[in-house]
Amino acid sequence: MDFRDSPAGRQAYIQGSTLAIWEVMLLLRSYKGNVKDVAKHLNWPEAKVRAALNYSEAFPEEVNEAMAENDSTDFDSLKRMLPQAVDFAARKIKQG
């Protein structure tokens, strides 16, 4: 575990990775809490994913706040932070 300064303040990260604990928790949420599947997705040992889970259980307010902030971000708020951002959607190509 590492602690790094970010624009959002000091955050806990998994050592040797670019992922903050809350980002690993987002993956766990999308994989319905399956540690083994998240570890496989990240090509990590399960121990790293469990470390994120343990930290999240020890400091739920910190992790839940970061996840809630992420969940509340939409394109308009992103555009305010990154004026060069462009909204796009993939188009289906008609075949035949």
- The answer as to whether 96 is a domain residue is no
Model confidence at 71, pLDDT cuts 50, 70, 90, reads confident
pLDDT at position 96: 64
**Full 3-state SS string of 19-71:** CEHHHHHHHHHHCCCCHHHHHHHHCCCHHHHHHHHHHHHHCHHHHHHHHHHHH
- Tell me, yes or no, whether 26 lies in a domain: yes
Specify the residue for token string 């604990």. 21
Q: Is there a domain that residue 70 lies in? A: yes
Range of the domain at 16: 2-81
Q: What is the mean pLDDT of residues 65-89?
A: 85
| 50 Cβ neighbours under 8 A, 6+ residues apart | 35
What pLDDT is recorded for position 51?
Answer: 97
What CATH number does the domain containing 22 carry? 1.10.10
Q: Is 88 inside a domain boundary?
A: no
Question: For residues 33 and 88, which has the higher predicted lDDT (pLDDT)?
Answer: 33
In a domain, 91, yes or no: no
What does the CA dihedral 64, 69, 74, 80 come to, rounded to 10 degrees? -170
- Residue-wise pLDDT tens digits, 5-53: 987 789 999 999 999 999 999 999 999 999 999 999 999 999 999 999 9
Q: Rounded to 5 degrees, what are φ and ψ at 80?
A: -65, -35
The structural domain count of the chain equals: 1
